[in-house]
Amino acid sequence: MSSKKVRKRSAERGARAPKGATMRIEGKEYEFPVVVGTEGEKAIDISSLRASTGYITLDEGLSNTGSCESAITFLDGQRGELRYRGIPIEELAAHSTFTETAYLVMYGELPKPRELEIFSARLNASSLIHEDMRHFFMGLPGHAHPMAILTTVVASLSAFYPVSDELCKDDEDRIVANLISQIRTLAACSYKMSIGEPVVYPSYKRKFVENFLYMMFASPVRDYQLDPVIIRAIDLFLMLHADHEQNCSTATVRMAGSSHANVYAVVSAGISALWGRLHGGANQAVIEMLERIQASGISVAAYVERLKANKERLMGFGHRVYKTYDPRAKILREHCHNLLKKPGMSAPAFDIALELEQIALRDEYFLSRNLYPNVDFYSGLILKAAGFPVNMFTVLFAIGRMPGWLAQWREMRHADKNKIVRPRQIYKGPPLRHFVPKDAR
């Protein structure tokens, strides 16, 4: 949709929207403006609330708070819709690639053939990391979790690639290409170091996902045969994770970036937030749950009864925003089938996953609680089938999310309202009291 049509639709909806919202506090009425988004979502702008009333709002978890205005991603949790820059995720999954989608998320439009060629070449040229970083990796424990290594080395990139306080467009484009490309090299290096194998360098002859898979799984004594089905499954995984509105890690990127910290530190903060079990680590938890069911020997139906009795935890179902089937899960489910149908593939956990899904989609316990399968339910199965160890799952999430983090960082830097984020709180501690000398305590 053209920007002109977007503005027209926004204006039409704005005309139908309330002009303002009235709030009554201690007998007095206050007016606050209403902001209307392109798709008709409405927000009460309370920027002046504390100054005019002395009150603040309390919204633990921030699920009712809009922290910014953004033109990157739209999602509708009630209808199960997700769009990057207005384009439905289903259309991108059917026709696009991760590299092309990364360009769309970053720059707002699908690239023309020449633009995509230049962007791809820039990613390829940026794929090498500074050779001195090998010493950095060697100083880290061999048993360290790949996410611990990734957060550390990404933050350290500013030492190898200094960032000016004032960035021009060329600087931004260089940083974008470096981070989108180098994070996969850093991820592969982290994995190789953790298993004691030599690092495999990227090659200009291979495309984005092919390069990553080769760096991960090839070695001087073992060639790696690139499989088109695996390449496409991983490309889709990365594409479906490219951005997802103001989730925990993205909000962290915006918060850290609001202080004008260097971009490598900002992205490292996002990676740290992603590491959490309730965020990027959820697909690992799904695999652990399925393997636990398999090892226990009990039926899936029996496990579900244990779930209902709060004797087990359910992972991979439900979402903070989606109240219906996660659209990304629908796409990954099909490709999970394609991957696991391949000769030689054996995944008992997938059969358990299918049975669990079938029960959930017709059981009132799940339906009444909006517990539909989410993207984590299938992404872990795909990564495991593709040969990735469980401790690399969240690392791949970070690779996929990098374009979104950078797009959000860039949008925030150029916004008219570019303030440092500084939430308030409601203090619940002791009232005023005074210091007591040590001998009188």
Which active-site residues does the annotation give? Answer: 319, 376
Could you tell me the CA-to-CA distances from 23 to 20, 48, 268, 400, 424 in Å, in that order? 10, 12, 40, 42, 20
Closest residue by Cα to residue 81 from 324, 353, 405, 396: 324
Contact 321, 81 (CB under 8 A): no
For strands 87-88 and 81-84, give the pairing. Answer: antiparallel
Strand partners, 75: 82
Helices within 317-371 (DSSP H only): 327-340, 348-360, 364-367
* Dihedral sign from CA coordinates of 31, 36, 40, 41: negative
DSSP secondary structure, 268-293, as one string = HHHHHHHTSTTTTTHHHHHHHHHHHH
- Using only C-alpha atoms, the chain has a radius of gyration, in whole angstroms, of 24
Phi, psi of 361 (to 5 degrees): -80, -5
Whose tokens are 């010493």? That residue is: 135
Contact 23, 56 (CB under 8 A): no
Strand partners, 20: 33
Closest residue by Cα to residue 37 from 63, 72, 87: 72
Amino acid at 396: L
Contact 409, 180 (CB under 8 A): no
220, with CB counted inside 10 A (0-12, 13-18, 19+), is exposed
Whose tokens are 């769309």? That residue is: 104
